């Protein structure tokens, strides 16, 4: 919000945003038929019924996330003096520093402004 207010480039340093907002903001594909959702115990090799289960686990995100992030969107709108959604703020990012590793997470497509920095918090031994 501050970067948008000052009209400077924004940088995000994160692991994952709840509800898949990072996928939507960066426009990376995240189909529920191929990418397992959290708490489903599914792998990336699913049969048809498992894909349906994965889709059913994904449906509440659309309703719950709006109610969870609504107070923050209202706060950002009041500060910027215009109507703004959090997804619009995330889309303005110049660089995404992502703390993911394909060893622990499933591979996914990346956009050119996304950089993996996994292990940045590890101490040298």
Predicted TM-score of the model (pTM): 0.72
Residue 121 lies in a domain: no
Residue 123 lies in a domain: no
Residue 96 lies in a domain: yes
- pLDDT on residue 121: 61
Residue 124 lies in a domain: no
Would the pLDDT of 125 be above 70? Answer: no
Q: State what percent of residues in the chain have pLDDT above 70.
A: 94
Residue 107 lies in a domain: yes
Residue 122 lies in a domain: no
Residue 125 lies in a domain: no
Domain that holds residue 80: 1-116
Q: Report which of residues 103 and 54 the model is more confident about.
A: 54
Structural domain total, the chain = 1
Range 68-103 burial, b when 16+ CB lie within 10 A, else e:
ebeeebeebeeeeeeebebeebbeebeebebebeee
């Amino acid at each position: 919000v501050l970067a948008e207010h000052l009209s400077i480039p924004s940088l995000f340093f994160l692991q994952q945003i709840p509800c898949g907002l990072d996928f939507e903001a960066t426009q990376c594909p995240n189909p529920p038929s191929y990418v397992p959702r959290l708490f489903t115990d599914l792998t990336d090799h699913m049969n048809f019924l498992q894909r349906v289960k994965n889709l059913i686990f994904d449906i509440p995100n659309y309703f719950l996330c709006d109610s969870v992030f609504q107070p923050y969107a209202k706060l950002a709108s009041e500060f910027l003096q215009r109507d703004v959604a959090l997804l619009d703020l995330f889309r303005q990012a110049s660089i995404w520093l992502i703390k993911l590793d394909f060893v622990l997470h499933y591979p996914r497509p990346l956009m050119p402004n996304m950089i993996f920095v996994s292990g940045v918090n590890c101490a040298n031994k």
